Structure 1
């Protein structure tokens, strides 16, 4: 059951990344760009969770997952605060 949930979470993040990136390509609104980059990081975070819990359960990758998630949120914060129009 965990495999299905982790896979669906990663797939949902990937779809959101694609939709945000395609919306940015159409409108060139920069907040969409930062959101797409952030969701790409969240997709990587979900993939790291999948690898951590399913593929390599003996190895603790929680620091890697936390770092990826933090970086994704920092990118979104940068876009919200310092790159506003």
Structure 2
């Protein structure tokens, strides 16, 4: 059951990233760029979670997962603070 939940989370964040990238390519809004980069990172974070818990349960990927999530969030934070409309 956990594999299904982790997979659905990764798929959902990938779909969100794809929609944000598509919207950015249509409008060239800088906020959409930072949001799409963030969601690509969150997708990688969910894939790392899936690998950590399902594929490689004997290996601890907590630091990798946390680093990816932190970097993705920092990218969005940068875009929200420093980009002007």
Pairing 1:1-85 to 2, within 5 Å after superposition:
1-85=1-85
1:2 and 1:52 map into 2 onto residues whose CA distance is 12
| Residue-by-residue CA offset, 1:9-63 (whole Å, 9 max, x unaligned) | 0000000000000000111111001000000000000000000000000010000
What 5-or-longer segments of structure 2 have no aligned partner? Answer: none
TM-score, normalised with respect to structure 1: 0.98
For the aligned residues, what is the CA RMSD? Answer: 0.5
Structure 2 distance, partners of 1:62, 1:84, is: 35
Q: What is the SS of the residue equivalent to 1:69?
A: helix
Give ranges in structure 1 of 5+ residues lacking alignment.
Answer: none
